[in-house]
Structure 1
């Protein structure tokens, strides 16, 4: 049993004073592909994706295993595209990784925390399920309530899903604990801030390439800093 919330406008309500738990963030492009993943407080991690199941650079934590015999595949990402200085829009460098390069901590696969188990589900299957739920509920809301209604979240006994969709078709999805109020404003801040600055305005990132995820270290670091620095982050 779960609740579905549909609003005709964005509600900018205040957050509760108690801390809230944010589990994970997914970003999907208009081709329905997951291009970015980040987690903070997951108690059950997904298994790595199968080879070819996800785009490169989505997340090191769920990257498909690579063959040990091929050193060229051991690079964290093929091209992180750290190309824009903060708030300037100036192209400064193209940071191409090779087999001998050292990745930053955010681009490396994080160690599994003690007590964190696996969901038993491969990450490529997980992102399909998350997108499928959102797609189905969006269609249901539109059919039952009309085109003026907008699906923004739903809640189960274990988690709450928050959705922010851009005019260009990108979907920002965040999972949190079920007692959390709306986090659409957080997803919008990620979009109008780091996403526009480091992804959309980056001339070296092809938004519709279907070949890479959001392979930009500045974007990942900025999102992580924004969430961890927020007043609602425990």
Structure 2
């Protein structure tokens, strides 16, 4: 089971979280101002000194006031970068990629509803010859999107639902320091990121 990446979009169509695993072609960092801070250090716009201004990990709080890591231990993504195959670029900035992902979902969801003639008809995902997209949408408008190998037969929508009912509710919704529906920051919480990594890497057949 090869899982490539996970996106979370809020009800404003904004990408508020990103994480990847077995992805050898990563997009270029987002353009300055094109991505909310704290969505992902791997794809955030770099500062003039070449480092992410939101990546100070030797403090107890981030810019959002949420507790993050207190040492320089690498994140799961950084560990995979050093042990996996060398990463290349898709040539596309991440903010543009996120817009394309959301645009495809929105277009196909509208098409499914129009063809079925039912407003409650659900669009669950699609498959191409190179990847498979899985979608879970919450009642509050959050969309959890996972891209995987096209040969996966399991419906990972259930996994996305578990991510929402588990780590998302625990570390984001119920976190008194987290500002929900914010247009200023992404989901700046390393406990949330680590919990998702543990859950996904624990799936049967995860490579």
> 1-side partners of 2:76 and 2:198: how far apart?
14
**Structure 1 equivalent of residue 106 of structure 2:** 135
CA contact (8 A) 1:67 1:73 kept: no
Shift of 1:72: 6.1
RMSD (Å), alpha carbons? 2.3
Q: Does 1:190 align with 2:163?
A: yes
8 Å contact from structure 2 (residues 65, 177) kept in 1: no
Distance 1:203 1:103 in 2: 26
Deviation at 1:177, TM superposition (A): 0.6
Change (3 A) 1:211 1:107: farther
Contact 1:59 1:107 in 2 (8 A): no
CA–CA distance in structure 1, aligned partners of residues 111 and 73 of structure 2: 42
Return the alpha-carbon distance in structure 2 between the equivalents of residues 135 and 44 of structure 1: 24
Partners of 1:214 and 1:114 lie apart in 2 by 28
Q: 1:226 aligns with which of 178, 199, 206?
A: 199
Q: Do the aligned residues in 2 keep the contact of 1:158 with 1:178 (CA within 8 Å)? A: yes
Q: TM-score, normalised by structure 2?
A: 0.88
Conserved in 1, the CA contact under 8 Å of 2:18 and 2:39?
yes
Specify which of 17, 22, 27 is matched with residue 46 of structure 1: 27
Alignment of 1:69-80 (within 5 A): 75=56, 78-79=63-64
Kindly indicate whether the alpha-carbon contact (under 8 Å) linking 1:66 and 1:74 is maintained by their aligned counterparts in 2.
Answer: no
Distance in structure 2 (CA, Å) of the matches to 1:190 and 1:70: 30
Instruction: Look up the SS of the partner of 1:50 in the other structure.
Output: coil
Q: Does 1:164 align with 2:136?
A: yes
Q: Give, in angstroms, the shift of residue 134 of structure 1.
A: 0.2
Matches within 5 A, 1:110-121: 111=81, 113-121=84-92
Residues 130 and 150 of structure 2 are in contact (CA less than 8 Å); yes or no, is this contact kept in structure 1?
yes
Residues 1:81 and 2:70 are matched in the alignment: no
| Change in CA separation of 1:80 and 1:127 when aligned onto 2, cut-off 3 Å | farther
Post-superposition offset of 1:107: 8.1
Unaligned runs of 5+ in 2: none
Please tell me whether the aligned partners of residues 80 and 216 of structure 1 are also in contact (alpha carbons under 8 angstroms). no
Is this contact kept in 1: 2:200–2:206, CA < 8 A?
yes
Partner of 1:106: 75
Q: Which runs of 5+ in 1 are unaligned?
A: 1-19, 83-94
Give the number of the structure whose alpha-carbon radius of gyration is greater.
1
Displacement of 1:108 in angstroms is: 7.8
